[in-house]
Amino acid sequence: MSNKIIKFGAEWCGPCKAMKPQMEKFKELILESDVEVLDIDVDAEENADLARQYGVRSIPYTVFLKDDKVERAVTGLKTSNELYQAFQEIYQN
């Protein structure tokens, strides 16, 4: 069983670019946790199936998996604080 946060985005996506530093801050906040954070480019051919699997229709799209199950999925630019709040609700309860 694994806990992961997957952020789907693309190089050309303005909100995705704006979210990059927020994700970096967020990763620092959860450094001591066992949650893996992945950044997936939806334009890469090898990621097409994964994006379909999680129903990505708009980016940035962030999926929170707890014990390999989707607990929450959010669309749009999120701040490190918003991500951390979701992290606490999902993984620390």
62's tokens: 């962030």
Q: 76: phi > 0 → left, psi -120 to 50 → alpha, else beta; which?
A: left
d(CA 48, CA 87): 26
d(CA 6, CA 11): 16
**If you count DSSP H runs as helices and E runs as strands, how many of each does the chain have, helices first?**
3, 4
Task: Indicate if 16 belongs to the active site.
Answer: yes
Task: Indicate if 2 belongs to the active site.
Answer: no
Identified catalytic residue from 16, 42, 65, 83:
16
Identified catalytic residue from 5, 6, 13, 59:
13
List the catalytic residues.
Answer: 13, 16
